[in-house]
Structure 1
Amino acid sequence: MNIEMIEAAATRLKGHARRTPLLSSPFLDEIAGRRVLVKPECLQHTGSFKFRGAWSAISALDPELRARGVIAFSSGNHAQGVALAAKMHGAPAVIIMPADAPALKLANTAALGAEVVTYDRATEDRDEIGGRLAEERGLTLIKPFDEPLVIAGQGTAGLEIAEDAKALGIDKAEVLICCGGGGLTSGVALACAAHAPGLRVRPVEPEGFEDVKRSLEDGEIRRNPALSGNICDAIITPQPGEITFPIMKELCGPGIAVSEDEALAAVAQAFLRLKIVAEPGGAVALAAALYHAQELEGDTVIAMISGGNVDPEMFSRALATL
């Protein structure tokens, strides 16, 4: 991985991905006790940053390979990103999704034209399923985070953060990223290190599933003891990636873990103050900005809302916290 790959991905994404802005609200600043800027990737195609990585990877494939089709495994956001990017390229897509994924994500992925294959995330290995189907059908596997071309695509969000922060006169800030396997976090960290070294990227995860936080503390990869049981389904992964972890270890600050209640409160505040819809897993970075002030440094924090694909019932539950 290097910055040149991210810049090349930005070129391929130009005219296809949405450039999301930095939003602000004095009410959020008051809660956080510092300036808060929010990058709403929930406004990206398919409702999350995952479209960036999917387009980056699929657009770089040899045309013959792409025509055979692609396969991906995801709880929903990477699934939808790959499904749409494949459809836009005229390529078939098979998506392996946990059976307990939010109904909206399962339905949307199928509606985008992908073949959906479900599995039990507590008893089945999605990597094994993906590898087997890829071999049987001659499909190209688009991994959700531990794939250089995917990381490069996610890193384009970091290029935008660096450019927009510079335009606002911000040369030092904490950049909080919702973190699962680390594709987005490592990509943004690489982009910021190259173009805005005063911006320190920090991964944010749900309590009980903070494998990246523990891995950074211990200096080696640690696994989560469980793979389900949290409302932040979008960012629950077994462990950091073999590619992403070394990048995060070198470039990122300490991780932060937030509670389910804090994630729900952040979903509510994003709607109330910024008029945007976030899912719990996509709101953990904002939750850290608002409710973990003691763990942050400086007078400015940039938090990414990484996804907005939330079921109506969960969104209602979040709004009930207001």
Structure 2
Amino acid sequence: MEYLRGNVHKTPVVTSQTTNEKTGKKVYMKLENHQKTGAFKYRGASYKLSRLTPAQLEAGVVTASAGNHAQGVALAAKKLNAVATIFMPEGTPSAKVEATRGYGAVVKLVGQSFQEAYTASLEHKKLTGATYVHPFDDYDIMAGQGSIGVEMLEEIPQLDTIIVPIGGGGLISGIAVAAKMIKPSIKIIGVQAANAPSMFKSYYTKDDHVLLDSCSTIAEGIAVKQPGELTQQVVRQYVDEIYCVSESEIAYAMIYLLERTKSLVEGAGASALAALLAYNDKIDSEHTGVIVSGGNLDLGKMGEIQALSLKSNHKTITKEQITAL
């Protein structure tokens, strides 16, 4: 982990009096949208690549990503003089695609979802012998993301709960293990978009083979059809609860963060706060950490997000509704 201390930003933690009053809790928002590449993913990618052998780096690295992991791998590879090839879904926001290319990676746009891009990236690995850097289902990736939990507890040891977005599960797995090693009593709450509840279903049904038909959400950073094999086991062991939030609740949290903390946040990055606002009465906590995981938003969608946020009425979504989907 010492490698990360010198290579990633120690991101700020901010509070908001309005949010504290609204929730009746002391809320601490960890702004990973201020991380290098604009999201937490650089932590895991940087740590993973630092663990590769010279031969593995020489072979080049390949991955698939909805955007933020792509940028993390691209920058980490550039710093180590390795060639990175990134497969991204065709609908990935142009800002993320261009940023990834800007860090020097070769970008290939394939398919409508992460799953299709992922399949294409595995084929590339077979054909070229490149080293695979999985976006979440890798213990080194999880360990790198876990540095967030370490930083938070170093800065705010009184935290009793951390709320974390979930896509494939790498972020929450790393944070949950790291935080509970430091403070076993801490609660870890996960959040998924109701339109992409793969880990939610895996967690509550104990089904190891969840595969969603679709996962269309404004939180494209957590739109994952299938949880990781490794991450879903870690999540079951270390995570205390998972909630789902609607599209309008995510949009409302994005606008709220822009207005209250002057932070531009993407859908995935706002989902943890969306859950706190929607399920506040169910979350028994005094000192609550919220992971704002990324800020790589396509600004062309702001009008749509603002309109969607007005529809939010914070009617919570039940487990029965999600597992019946």
* Alignment partner of 1:105 out of 67, 87, 96: 96
SS of alignment partner, residue 290 of structure 2: strand
User: For 1:128, which of 119, 144, 148 is the aligned residue?
Assistant: 119
Cα deviation digits, residues 228-272 of structure 1 (max 9, x gap) = 421110001122211111111111111010111111111111121
Q: Distance in 2 between matches of 1:238 and 1:309?
A: 21
Q: Distance in 1 between matches of 2:18 and 2:114?
A: 44
Aligned to 2:53: 62
Amino acid at match of 2:75: L
The equivalent of 2:263 in structure 1 is 276
Quick one: distance in 1 between partners of 2:190 and 2:67? 20
Q: Runs of 5+ in structure 1 lacking a partner?
A: 1-9
Amino acid at match of 1:50: K
Structure 2 counterpart of 1:301: 288
Counterpart of 2:236?
A: 249
Work out the CA distance in 2 between the residues paired with 1:76 and 1:259. 21
Higher mean C-alpha displacement, 291-300 vs 276-285: 291-300
Match of 1:46 in 2: 37
Contact kept? 1:210, 1:224, Cα under 8 Å: no
Structure 2: give runs of 5+ residues left out of the alignment: 311-325
Aligned residue in 1 for 2:177: 190
Q: Is the CA contact 1:209–1:226 (under 8 Å) kept in the aligned structure 2?
A: no
How far does residue 224 in structure 1 lie from its aligned partner after superposition? Answer: 4.6
Q: CA RMSD in A?
A: 1.7
The residue aligned with 1:291 is 278
Looking at structure 1, the residues matched to 29 and 40 of structure 2 have their Cα atoms a distance apart, in angstroms, of: 14
Aligned-partner SS, 1:268? helix
TM-score, scaled relative to structure 2: 0.90
> C-alpha separation between the residues in 1 aligned to 2:18 and 2:215?
33
Identify the residue that residue 191 of structure 2 maps to in structure 1: 204
The worse-fitting range, judged by mean Cα deviation, of 40-49 and 155-164 is 155-164
Aligned CA distance change for structure 1 residues 316 and 203 (closer, same or farther; 3 Å)? same
Q: Distance in 2 between matches of 1:123 and 1:156?
A: 25
1 CA distance for matches of 2:223 and 2:211? Answer: 9
The whole-number CA distance in structure 1 between the counterparts of 2:306 and 2:27 is 21
1:15 maps to: 6
Where 1:292 maps in the other structure, the secondary structure is helix
Q: What's the offset of the Cα at 1:122?
A: 5.1
Match 2:136 to one of 133, 142, 145: 145
Counterpart among 77, 95, 108 of residue 86 in structure 2? 95
**What is the identity, as a one-letter code, of the residue corresponding to 1:310?**
L
Letter in 2 for 1:52: R
Match of 1:260 in 2: 247
Q: What letter matches 2:301 in structure 1?
A: M
Q: Is the 8 A contact 2:88 2:114 kept in 1?
A: no
SS of 2:63's equivalent? Answer: strand
- The amino acid that maps onto 2:271 is V
Q: CA deviation at 1:150?
A: 0.7
Name 1:117's counterpart in structure 2. 108
Separation (CA, whole Å) in 2 of partners of 1:307 and 1:118 = 21
Question: What is the aligned-residue identity percentage?
Answer: 32
1:223-234 alignment runs, 5 A limit: 223-234=210-221
What is aligned with 2:15?
24
The alignment covers a number of residue pairs equal to 309
Please name the residue that 1:3 is paired with.
Answer: none
1:125: Cα distance to partner?
3.1
| Contact 1:162–1:191 (CA under 8 A) maintained in structure 2 | no
| C-alpha displacement of 1:132 | 1.6
Q: CA deviation at 1:299?
A: 2.2
TM-score (norm 1): 0.91
1:130 Cα shift? Answer: 1.5
Aligned partner (choices 25, 28, 45) of residue 34 of structure 1: 25
Helix, strand or coil at the partner of 2:167: coil
Structure 1 distance, partners of 2:14, 2:113, is 38
Secondary structure, in 3 states, of the residue corresponding to 1:15?
A: helix
Q: What is the deviation of 1:65?
A: 1.5
Q: 1:19 to 1:97 in 2, by over 3 A?
A: same
Q: Which stretch of the first structure deviates more once superposed, 42-51 or 306-315?
A: 306-315
Tell me how far apart the structure 2 counterparts of residues 127 and 319 of structure 1 sit (CA, whole Å): 31
Partner-residue secondary structure (3-state), 2:288: strand
1:155 correspondence with 2:177: no
Question: 2: distance between equivalents of 1:197 and 1:123?
Answer: 34
Shift of 1:289: 1.3
Q: Helix, strand or coil: the match of 1:278?
A: coil
Distance of 1:234 and 1:103 partners within structure 2? 14
Deviations 1:85-110 (A, max 9, x none): 10111111000000011111111111
